């Protein structure tokens, strides 16, 4: 819409934006990106031409927003509450999100189902725990996403982006870059390049302000513009430097070879800076590890154990796992309906459960958790409080995870699962004896976290 602010471009961009907003609320990041880009273009336009050149661009952007708004309403059949659902609107007060949803509802600016889902973002905006570089932090850390980008982006791509930075400076930003040509084509290429950088950098900056440090996936929107920049400046490198074509070929071959070697474990990718996929848990957790994709591998490991121990019992501590669907016989311990007693066997934790604590009692194992555990243990000990068993199980698993984190794992499955063999004596000690040194953990802003892998010395 910057180069061609006409009706067809406005309709296409607005429809795309509307569909994006229906798919993912993070698409709202387009608005500050567009504003920054418009301000930059305004500053770059000669004062005498600003009104003539800038007015159509502004009108196109405003039209784009109205088209996106209409697409959202169209999706819900232009009805405020198409299902006549009685939504729960008590989301508290005093926050920017609560004020925004109140305004949207008062003036019927958006359909109720959409506003209700928007209000649900409060769960992401609240203070949570985030793990990065062997530290569990209360709240977000500004460096979480830069670190995630650095260790999850393939090295050939990082090198290509280095070329893009160098090329952008040499071609468009250095004092001598405009000496060769000030043609219309040069201005177009400059505008496109800076626009792509603004989009990627602005979205990354917005992510860095968030307290939700749960996954590298939240900055995936920065990659498309970076891919375009990397590709275009690798072409520039080939045209302007004698060894450019050879360097580009090497980067391409390295990227393909790395992808083929990692398949089908792409989810577990960490580059050589992080030490490869096997060391990813030392840098990030949660959806950046996605250990659930290794459940088929876990099923094969269980089969191997059962050849020598036919009666072996397996317990899985992972919130999002459905092990039976992948042939695993592990009993998932984080289901709310679990009421079975714990017994000796193999306790399999995904790295996130160890590093960040099993849900719903995630974070550091605190004095509050320990007091609640002891209370529930006493209630469950009496036959008349069977309804307390699920909560006791959740607290027991949380206690077990905190203790296992301070032990060396007995085995490791894939890149994300750590196995602890728990005997009857171990289990009695874990659930009844006093906690080891360092537990419960005192309140702090950050907690050191490190899993002792079987291969660690």
b/e map of 15-53 (b: 16 or more CB within 10 Å)? bbbbebbbeeebbebbeebbebbbeebeeeeeeeeeeee
Residues 115 and 109: their CA atoms lie apart, in Å, by: 9
pLDDT (mean) for 429-442: 91
> Do 261 and 373 belong together in one domain?
no
User: Which residues are 100's β-sheet partners?
Assistant: none
> Do 162 and 245 belong together in one domain?
yes
> Do 213 and 147 belong together in one domain?
yes
Q: Is residue 18 part of a domain?
A: no
Q: Is residue 35 part of a domain?
A: no
Is the pLDDT higher at 251 or at 93?
A: 251
pLDDT grade for 179, boundaries at 50, 70 and 90: very low
Is 313's pLDDT higher than 80?
A: yes
Q: Is residue 315 part of a domain?
A: yes
Out of 241, 272, 289, a domain closes at 289
pLDDT (mean) for 45-58: 84
pLDDT one-digit tens code per residue, 64-79: 999 999 999 999 999 9
Q: Is residue 37 part of a domain?
A: no
Is 410's pLDDT higher than 50?
A: yes
Is 332's pLDDT higher than 60?
A: yes
> Do 230 and 336 belong together in one domain?
no
pLDDT (mean) for 14-34: 91
> Do 362 and 392 belong together in one domain?
yes
Q: Are 277 and 270 in contact (CB under 8 A)?
A: yes
Q: Is residue 427 part of a domain?
A: yes
What pLDDT does residue 110 have? Answer: 94
Is 177's pLDDT higher than 80?
A: no
The DSSP output letter for 336 is: T
Residues 224 and 227: their CA atoms lie apart, in Å, by: 5
pLDDT (mean) for 398-409: 94
pLDDT one-digit tens code per residue, 97-125: 778 888 888 899 999 999 988 887 766 66
> Do 135 and 265 belong together in one domain?
yes
Nearest-CA neighbor of 360 among 315, 407, 419, 317? 317
Give the CA radius of gyration of the chain: 27
Q: Are 326 and 356 in contact (CB under 8 A)?
A: no
Share of the chain above pLDDT 70, in %: 93
Out of 255, 274, 289, a domain closes at 289
What pLDDT does residue 94 have? Answer: 65
Element spanning 417, H or E: strand 417-422
pLDDT one-digit tens code per residue, 316-326: 998 766 788 88
Q: What is 300-315 written as a DSSP string?
A: HHHHHHHHH-TT--EE
Is 139's pLDDT higher than 90?
A: no
- What is the residue-averaged pLDDT of the chain? 88
> Do 173 and 270 belong together in one domain?
yes
Q: Is residue 388 part of a domain?
A: yes
> Do 204 and 332 belong together in one domain?
no
Is 4's pLDDT higher than 90?
A: no
Residues 227 and 132: their CA atoms lie apart, in Å, by: 26
Q: How many domains, in total, are found in the chain? A: 2
Q: Is the pTM for the entire model greater than 0.75?
A: yes
Q: Is residue 190 part of a domain?
A: yes
User: What range defines the domain where residue 327 resides?
Assistant: 291-448
Out of 289, 305, 328, a domain closes at 289
> Do 296 and 225 belong together in one domain?
no
> Do 250 and 340 belong together in one domain?
no
Q: Is residue 441 part of a domain?
A: yes
> Do 278 and 327 belong together in one domain?
no
> Do 285 and 345 belong together in one domain?
no
């Amino acid at each position: 819409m910057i180069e061609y602010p006409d009706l067809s471009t406005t309709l296409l961009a607005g429809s795309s934006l509307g569909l994006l907003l229906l798919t993912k609320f993070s698409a709202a990041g387009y608005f500050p990106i567009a504003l920054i880009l418009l301000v930059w273009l305004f500053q770059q336009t000669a004062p005498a031409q600003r009104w003539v050149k800038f007015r159509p661009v502004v009108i196109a952007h405003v039209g784009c927003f109205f088209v996106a708004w209409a697409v959202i309403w169209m999706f819900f059949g232009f009805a405020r509450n198409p299902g006549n659902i009685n939504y729960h609107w008590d989301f508290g007060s005093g926050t920017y999100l609560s004020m925004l949803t109140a305004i949207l509802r008062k003036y019927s600016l958006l359909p109720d189902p959409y506003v209700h889902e928007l209000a649900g973002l409060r769960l992401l905006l609240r203070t949570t725990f985030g793990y990065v570089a062997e530290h569990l932090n209360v709240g977000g850390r500004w460096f979480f996403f830069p670190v995630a980008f650095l260790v999850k982006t393939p090295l050939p791509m990082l090198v290509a982006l280095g070329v893009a930075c160098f090329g952008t400076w040499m071609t468009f930003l250095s004092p001598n870059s405009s000496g060769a040509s000030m043609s219309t084509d040069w201005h177009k290429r400059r505008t496109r390049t800076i626009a792509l950088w603004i989009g990627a950098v602005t979205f990354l900056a917005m992510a860095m302000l968030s307290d939700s440090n749960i996954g590298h996936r939240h900055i995936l929107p920065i990659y498309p513009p970076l891919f375009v920049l990397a590709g275009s400046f690798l072409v520039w490198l080939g045209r302007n430097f004698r060894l450019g074509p050879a360097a580009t070929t090497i980067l391409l071959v390295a990227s393909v070879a790395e992808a083929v070697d990692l398949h089908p474990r792409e989810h577990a990718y960490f580059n050589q800076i992080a030490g490869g996929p096997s060391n990813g848990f030392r840098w990030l957790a949660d959806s950046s590890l996605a250990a659930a994709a290794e459940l088929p591998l876990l099923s094969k490991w269980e089969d191997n154990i059962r050849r020598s121990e036919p009666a072996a019992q397996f317990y899985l501590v992972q919130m999002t796992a459905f092990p039976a669907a992948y042939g695993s016989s592990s009993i998932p311990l984080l289901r709310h309906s679990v009421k079975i007693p714990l017994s000796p066997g193999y306790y399999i934790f995904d790295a996130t459960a160890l590093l960040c604590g099993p849900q719903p009692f995630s974070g550091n194992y605190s004095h509050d958790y320990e007091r609640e555990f002891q209370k529930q243990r006493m209630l469950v000990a009496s036959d008349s409080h069977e309804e307390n068993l699920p909560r006791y199980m959740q607290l027991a698993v949380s206690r077990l995870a905190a203790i296992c984190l301070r032990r060396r794992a007995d085995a490791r499955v894939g890149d994300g699962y750590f196995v602890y063999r728990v005997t009857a004596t171990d289990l009695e000690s874990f659930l009844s004896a006093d906690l080891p040194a360092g537990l419960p953990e005192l309140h702090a802003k950050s907690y050191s976290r490190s899993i002792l892998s079987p291969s660690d010395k």
